[in-house]
Structure 1
Amino acid sequence: MRADKHQNKKKKRWTSILLVFLLLIGAVTGYVYFQFKQGVNQSLKKLNKDNKEENVVYTFEGQKDQYGNTNILLLGSDARGKEKSRADTIMIAHYNEDKGTFKLTSIMRDSYVEIPGHGKHKINSAFARGGPELMRQTIKKNFDIDLQYYAIVDFQGFVQLIDEAFPKGVEIDVEKKMSEYIDVTIEPGLQRLDGEHLLGYVRFRHDAIGDFGRVERQQQVIKAIKEQLSGFQTITKLPKLIGVVTPYVNTNIDTSDALFMAKDFLSDKGSIETFRIPVENSFTEPKIKGEGDVLDLDVQKNKEALHQFIIQ
């Protein structure tokens, strides 16, 4: 009899624990969904619904690379949803799930490479010719790296994300005055930049080093964002931040996968490692008829350097 009572008490205790556990899961799920939808609605209110274009639905035959990494093709564009626009920014985020770490490769848009079915052209034209799938094929052909996901980010999404995540701005040490062709004026010195000014900073390229300086600034800003976003408070804001940027992004990444990877991006203690194609002493800069100034790559040298960067 006593044994039966003891058994019943044990069952009730475990039932109570299970119930509390399920309630906690439900509360967390509800919080995540509410924050995500709040971010989405916040951005939708800022979009002109009459002029808002539907995202183009792309096929993308991606997979993990030969090292088991998840590689994400990141494309920055001014013309959201328009297939014929060239990619203004081309990056690859390399995510190692086992280590929870990220690396970042920038491919300069004037890199002159073989585009499958189209001959040699600047790599940024691959997007205009065949969307992210042709860009994936181009990167695979020239550098032998597979890409599993893509994300085409409208620059206004970048602005909204920065303003939501950093109400006081992102701290950047601006090296010189910048104003040409970026719609804002940025003064030199250590300061906090809001979304519009930070976008101008990463897009500026009208100086002596042109696109090389711009790629360097883009990588610098991503490192600064990672360092200044890190912390528990930011992780709790993740659902809303992803919601804020979602209306501005065309991607094949599920929201749950985006949250999982973003969590590791923010919780990784180390500084993010960056890489640039072309590497030093691996290209010439001829002028090609119909293309203008290009970066003609030593493809083998750049491919070997990229693989070494990924596996080290």
Structure 2
Amino acid sequence: MKKIWMIFLVYAVMTLTACASSSSESNKNKAEDAKPIKAIEKVIEKNIPPVEPFRIEKKSKNFLLIGVDSSDEKASRSDTIMFARYEPLEKKIKLISLMRDSYVKIPNHPFKYSKLNHAYNLGGKNLLKETVEENFGVKVDHIAVIDFIGFVNIMDTIAPEGLDVEVSKSMIEDLNLKVEPGKQKLHGADLLSYVRFRHDKMSDFGRVNRQQEVLISLKEKVLDQFSSLEGIAKFPEVIKFTMQNVETDLKFDEAFSLGASFILNPVTDIQTLRVPVSNSFENKYFQHAGAVLKLNFEKNEEAIKLFLNEDD
């Protein structure tokens, strides 16, 4: 059975939930907007100093979050694809789960159209970014990629006591979980099994719901862990460890600033959307791609714009 791996949700919460990073030059030009925090500045000096001092950012940024089944970009496919926007002034995160079987136009693909997750296999994260931008009318500022090993490593670090989730009998039997049906506390490896499960009547749609559920649950775990002085003292090392388990174009000082911003100016609202939206797709089959979701792109792009509060 092909293994399906979930993207690093913890990374999304710790850094992407505060993903309003800007360039070093931009930070210099907007020094008057900076709000340095003495406690964190002392931690920076004592541990791993970022290139730029910590600032609470104000500009919204968009991230493409990619979960893959292998660390080898040429041999893997992206089985989890999320578009995440952080809006610091509104203290909001907006998550759009893009169904991997969406039938989309892939630049330079021999058949022009194929499943969305084929783009990563054909051209890696950059081709997937280009495909998402072209088909869904969004702009990606940064990319984060994680495989199953990174997910388990970070999950066990950020939420060592586990997360409470609802486990069904069919899920327990299929994944060989050592728990009873109902509300259970799952840890790293079992949480990975939980978010990858799709062998019920909901299939990939249920899997997307569980991915979003776990991501939202992690927000409070992050805040709890770093709300004390002891937690803040560990923060630079945790960010460093996180970046060792995630492939991203973020630099350390950017990631540190983003994570610290989230702790000091926490998000109060996480909104989610699944694309394709209801009544905007058909189940189709193409020989070169298999079973796919054939989208009404006009309806879905309009739904995305409305969700992101963007004008034409």
Using the size of structure 1 for normalisation, the TM-score is 0.75
Mapped to 2, the partners of 1:208 and 1:285 lie a distance apart of 15
Instruction: Please tell me whether residue 249 in structure 1 is matched to residue 246 in structure 2.
Output: yes
SS at match of 1:223: helix
The count of residues paired between Structure 1 and Structure 2 equals 258
Instruction: Please tell me whether residue 262 in structure 1 is matched to residue 259 in structure 2.
Output: yes
Match in the other structure for 1:228 = 221
Task: Determine if contact 2:47/2:236 at 8 Å carries over to the other structure.
Answer: yes
- Gaps of at least 5 residues in structure 2 are 1-35, 50-58
Mapped to 1, the partners of 2:95 and 2:255 lie a distance apart of 16
5 Å-filtered alignment, 1:157-306, equals: 157-179=150-172, 182=175, 184=177, 187-231=180-224, 232-233=227-228, 237-266=234-263, 267-306=265-304
Identity of aligned residues (%): 39
Letter in 2 for 1:90: I
Mapped to 1, the partners of 2:175 and 2:261 lie a distance apart of 33
Match in the other structure for 1:88 = 79
Residues 191-222 of structure 1: CA deviation (Å, up to 9, x unaligned): 21110011110000111111000000000000
Instruction: Please tell me whether residue 111 in structure 1 is matched to residue 102 in structure 2.
Output: yes
Letter in 2 for 1:73: L
Instruction: Please tell me whether residue 120 in structure 1 is matched to residue 113 in structure 2.
Output: yes
Match in the other structure for 1:29 = 44
Using the size of structure 2 for normalisation, the TM-score is 0.75
Mapped to 2, the partners of 1:86 and 1:241 lie a distance apart of 28
Residues 159-195 of structure 1: CA deviation (Å, up to 9, x unaligned): 1111111221112232444256657455422221110
Question: Which range moved further: 130-139 or 180-189?
Answer: 180-189
Task: Determine if contact 1:182/1:203 at 8 Å carries over to the other structure.
Answer: no
Mapped to 2, the partners of 1:140 and 1:157 lie a distance apart of 26
Cα 1:90/1:269, change in 2 over 3 Å? closer
Task: Determine if contact 1:115/1:138 at 8 Å carries over to the other structure.
Answer: yes
Task: Determine if contact 1:178/1:187 at 8 Å carries over to the other structure.
Answer: no
Mapped to 1, the partners of 2:299 and 2:163 lie a distance apart of 36
Mapped to 2, the partners of 1:24 and 1:227 lie a distance apart of 21
Residues 23-50 of structure 1: CA deviation (Å, up to 9, x unaligned): 978742144429xxxxxxxxxxxxxxxx
Letter in 2 for 1:284: E
Task: Determine if contact 1:79/1:154 at 8 Å carries over to the other structure.
Answer: yes
SS at match of 1:285: strand
Indicate the structure (1 or 2) with the bigger Cα radius of gyration.
1
Cα 1:25/1:181, change in 2 over 3 Å? closer
Task: Determine if contact 1:186/1:197 at 8 Å carries over to the other structure.
Answer: no
Indicate the RMSD between aligned Cα atoms, in angstroms: 2.5
Mapped to 2, the partners of 1:147 and 1:136 lie a distance apart of 7
- Gaps of at least 5 residues in structure 1 are 1-20, 35-67
Question: Which range moved further: 78-87 or 261-270?
Answer: 261-270
Task: Determine if contact 2:93/2:267 at 8 Å carries over to the other structure.
Answer: no
Residues 86-106 of structure 1: CA deviation (Å, up to 9, x unaligned): 101101111124334321111
Match in the other structure for 1:15 = none
Mapped to 2, the partners of 1:27 and 1:187 lie a distance apart of 46
Letter in 1 for 2:203: G
Task: Determine if contact 1:84/1:129 at 8 Å carries over to the other structure.
Answer: no
The higher-RCO structure (CA 8 Å, 6+ apart) is 2
Shift of residue 282, structure 1, vs aligned partner: 0.3
Shift of residue 257, structure 1, vs aligned partner: 1.6
Mapped to 2, the partners of 1:152 and 1:123 lie a distance apart of 16
